[in-house]
């Protein structure tokens, strides 16, 4: 059996360390699930950063961490605190992330961070080199590792390399701003197949390659002097059945076994049966459009006072990248706007925004998706956005309305949602009103189409499609070289 390597910045595990115990649990994210399904046909190894600072651990604890990771098929790339600051919080999240999401005002151009980014990509390449026995295929993920494909190709020209970008690829006019643009494109071109969520991102990438490096491009192939690189779009799906089946099961549970979230929502609904719950879930990130969402909700309450007593916005924000300044500022802004809305529109019995700044266990998340009538997903820019898909998958009776930003990759596949421009408060407010008033049969009709599509193109299909295209890309390249 051939060996397959999966490479991402973070390993798909949670590590809890106490005095003399180390617990490693697999995380349940979409990527991990998708990979689990392809794992069956390979002997695979996942290489990434565990998030653990080894310098803080005793020798005994380090041994335990290594052993526990090995059991999960994982290898840790050990990052120092300085590397985390300069490569992860620095170049990855203060340069690439804002630039690729069109937030040029937040982009930092620090040579020191760039140097650290190169060093850490090389560190990943070195750990890969130590684990190459029997490996014939490698799949690298995301914007933290844009230089890695070429680093691997230089050392192992016969290994097939795939790369998938989980965030948007910006238009050439944005990308060219970056002083290190040529190195980054060349780094990515080390792959045999480059995958993006949408056709637009693929097109933007092609245009940067053509304009910066002048290579010939033929539909979705790039001709390098010695090789051919394939480029295609693979819109990432979710584990549809997991969300749908969990929602079904949760509904059937007896009162005693229900989650706290469901019990609370049902209790509230009994008191106020006219209530419509509007759900908002994301990491607290400036790209996700939390402020414009809140302002649009405020505008809705102002413009349509007849609904003030009937709507509750359930706002769930997961703490994220708290070491980066903009994220701390955003937290204060969100706190302030939520306070302003609740100050203005609360009554003794009702609070218009229920605000939770925390992560949630899967069961509670599914209950929120399943119970809330409306989801408000308004990113300013988003590679794909899985929340929109998870909400639709968790609907068990076809009821529910998704309001979705046209700036999310997901909008390309979900045209049956109410599509809005996230910068247009009035349009979002009108969409909320339309969602509240939408007849049940129309909701069912829209969601049936969406659900069918999401079930068919799930995360397993996404991963297997990418890998079969990767095999084909390699075969094409061999034929090209033989000519």
| Residues at the contact surface with ligand ADQ, assessed by CB under 6 A | 30, 166-167, 236, 281-283, 316, 318, 359-360, 365, 382-387, 390
- What Rg, from alpha-carbon coordinates, does the chain have? 23
Complex with ligand ADQ: residue 77 or 316, whichever CB lies closer: 316
Complex with ligand ADQ: residue 96 or 135, whichever CB lies closer: 96
Complex with ligand ADQ: residue 228 or 313, whichever CB lies closer: 313
Closest approach of ligand ADQ to the CB of residue 290, in Å: 12
The DSSP symbol for 165 reads -
- The encoded tokens of residue 370 equal 């399943």
Taking a C-beta distance cutoff of 8 angstroms, is the pair 145, 7 a contact? yes
Could you tell me which of 231, 146, 141, 224 has the C-alpha nearest to residue 183? 146
Complex with ligand ADQ: residue 61 or 292, whichever CB lies closer: 292
- Residue 98 sits at φ, ψ, to 5 deg, of -65, -40
Closest approach of ligand ADQ to the CB of residue 239, in Å: 10
Closest approach of ligand ADQ to the CB of residue 382, in Å: 4
Complex with ligand ADQ: residue 30 or 187, whichever CB lies closer: 30
Please state the separation of Cα 478 from the chain's center in Å: 33
Complex with ligand ADQ: residue 27 or 41, whichever CB lies closer: 27
Could you tell me which of 360, 355, 448, 363 has the C-alpha nearest to residue 400? 448
Closest approach of ligand ADQ to the CB of residue 232, in Å: 15
- Residue 399 sits at φ, ψ, to 5 deg, of -80, 145
Could you tell me which of 3, 40, 9 has the C-alpha nearest to residue 138? 3
Complex with ligand ADQ: residue 178 or 404, whichever CB lies closer: 404
Helix 386-393 to helix 362-371 angle (10° resolution) is 70
Closest approach of ligand ADQ to the CB of residue 436, in Å: 24
Closest approach of ligand ADQ to the CB of residue 386, in Å: 3
What distance in Å separates the CA atoms of residue 219 and residue 221, rounded to the nearest whole number?
6
What distance in Å separates the CA atoms of residue 9 and residue 25, rounded to the nearest whole number?
17
Phi-psi region of 289 (alpha: psi -120 to 50; beta: other; left: phi over 0): left
Closest approach of ligand ADQ to the CB of residue 154, in Å: 27
């Amino acid at each position: 059996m051939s060996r397959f390597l999966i490479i991402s910045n973070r390993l798909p595990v949670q590590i809890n360390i106490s005095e003399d115990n180390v617990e490693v649990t697999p995380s349940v994210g979409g990527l991990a699930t998708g990979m689990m399904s392809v794992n069956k046909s390979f002997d695979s190894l996942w290489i990434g950063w565990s998030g653990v600072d080894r310098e803080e651990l005793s020798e005994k604890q380090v041994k335990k961490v290594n052993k526990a990771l090995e059991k999960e098929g994982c290898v840790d790339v050990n990052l120092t605190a300085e590397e985390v600051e300069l490569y992860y919080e620095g170049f990855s999240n203060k340069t690439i992330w804002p630039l690729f999401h069109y937030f040029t005002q937040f982009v930092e151009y620090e040579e020191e961070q760039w140097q650290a980014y190169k060093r850490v990509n090389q560190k990943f390449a070195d750990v890969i080199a130590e684990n190459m026995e029997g490996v014939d295929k490698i799949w690298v993920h995301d914007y933290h590792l844009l230089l890695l494909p070429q680093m691997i190709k230089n050392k192992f020209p016969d290994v097939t390399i795939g790369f998938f970008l989980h965030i948007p690829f910006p238009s050439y006019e944005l990308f060219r701003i970056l002083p290190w643009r040529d190195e980054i494109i060349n780094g990515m071109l080390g792959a045999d197949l480059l995958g993006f969520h949408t056709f637009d991102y693929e097109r933007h990438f092609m245009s940067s390659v053509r304009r910066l490096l002048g290579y010939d491009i033929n539909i979705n192939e790039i001709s390098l002097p010695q090789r051919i690189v394939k480029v295609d779009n693979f819109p990432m799906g979710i584990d549809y059945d997991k969300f749908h089946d969990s929602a079904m099961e949760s509904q059937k549970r007896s009162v005693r076994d229900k989650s706290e979230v469901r019990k609370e929502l049902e209790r509230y609904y009994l008191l106020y049966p006219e209530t419509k719950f509007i759900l908002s879930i994301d990491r607290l990130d400036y790209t996700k459009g939390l402020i414009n969402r809140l302002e649009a909700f405020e505008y809705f309450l102002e413009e349509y006072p007849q609904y003030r007593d009937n709507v509750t916005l359930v706002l769930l924000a997961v703490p994220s990248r708290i070491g980066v300044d903009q994220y701390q500022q955003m937290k204060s802004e969100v706190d302030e706007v939520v306070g302003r809305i609740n100050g203005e529109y609360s009554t003794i019995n009702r609070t218009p925004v229920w605000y939770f700044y925390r992560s949630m266990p899967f069961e509670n998340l599914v209950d929120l998706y399943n119970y809330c009538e409306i989801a408000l997903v308004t990113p300013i820019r988003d590679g794909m956005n899985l929340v929109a898909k998870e909400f639709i998958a968790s609907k068990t009776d076809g009821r529910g309305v998704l309001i979705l930003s046209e700036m999310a990759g997901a909008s390309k596949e979900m045209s049956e949602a109410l599509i809005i421009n996230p910068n247009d408060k009035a349009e979002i407010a009108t969409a909320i009103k339309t969602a509240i008033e939408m007849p049940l049969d129309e909701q069912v009709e829209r969601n049936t189409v969406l659900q069918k599509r999401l079930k068919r193109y799930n995360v397993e299909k996404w991963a297997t499609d990418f890998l079969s295209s990767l095999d084909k890309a390699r075969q094409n390249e061999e034929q090209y070289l033989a000519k």
